Amino acid sequence: MSLSAMARLRRAALTAALALLAFGPAAAHEFKSGPIEVVHPWARATPPAAKVGGGYAEIRNDGSEPDRLVSVTAEVAGRVEIHEMGVKDGVMTMRPVEGGVPVPANGTAALAPGGYHLMLLELKRPLKAGESFAGTMTFEKAGTIAVTFDVQAIGSTGAGH
């Protein structure tokens, strides 16, 4: 092999390695603004005629000041509300959260089935497992973070991501 062919091969290998490094953060499915990091935003697939869906994520705050998730958008929904599910006197309740979800300093907040979650209202199309859609999460201090929600199976718990 000639010296110029070896140099081209080394350059190609270096370019491929750098490309893999560049895609590493995207593959991790994390989105960050300042100390706030949104980890693995996801939604459950919906039946074909559903007009409502659920969205979830983990929110990490590496900062020394608390923050608050105050609003969310999703391209697949006419509107998104932040809700909380709970059990009171043996009765399951779900209600919109006034003022958003607190994210403690140096802590996390979970948007997960059975607790705080996102209600994707007025769906424009069914959510199909394996697809994704764009959205935003707006925080009181960190501002707006563009995110991509992965759509998982109808009964998914989001575990393993």
Break the chain into its structural domains and give their ranges: 29-152
Rounded Cα gap, residues 21 and 53, in angstroms: 34
- Output DSSP code: residue 158: -
Strand-pair category, 132-139 with 143-152: antiparallel
pTM score > 0.85 for this model? no
82 vs 24: which has the higher pLDDT: 82
125: three-class secondary structure by DSSP: coil
The string of pLDDT tens digits covering residues 78-135 is 999 999 988 888 888 888 999 999 999 999 999 999 899 999 999 999 999 999 999 9
Q: Which of 8-17, 43-52, 107-116 has the lowest mean pLDDT?
A: 8-17
Integer angstrom CA distances of residue 139 from 13, 98, 134, 144: 41, 14, 17, 6
59 vs 158: which has the higher pLDDT: 59
Tell me which fold the domain 29-152 belongs to. Immunoglobulin-like (2.60.40)
Please compute the mean of the pLDDT values over residues 5-27 and round it to a whole number: 43
- Mean pLDDT across the chain, nearest whole number? 85
Please compute the mean of the pLDDT values over residues 32-48 and round it to a whole number: 96
Residue 29 confidence (pLDDT): 76
User: With the CA atoms of 105, 108, 111 and 116 taken in that order, what torsion angle do they form, in degrees rounded to the nearest 10?
Assistant: -60
Contacts of residue 123, Cβ cutoff 8 Å, sequence gap at least 6: 46, 50, 51, 52, 53, 76, 77, 78
Residue 11 confidence (pLDDT): 52
Rounded Cα gap, residues 63 and 160, in angstroms: 26
pLDDT at 19 over 90: no
Strand-pair category, 52-61 with 30-33: unpaired
Residue written as token pair 């009171």:
88
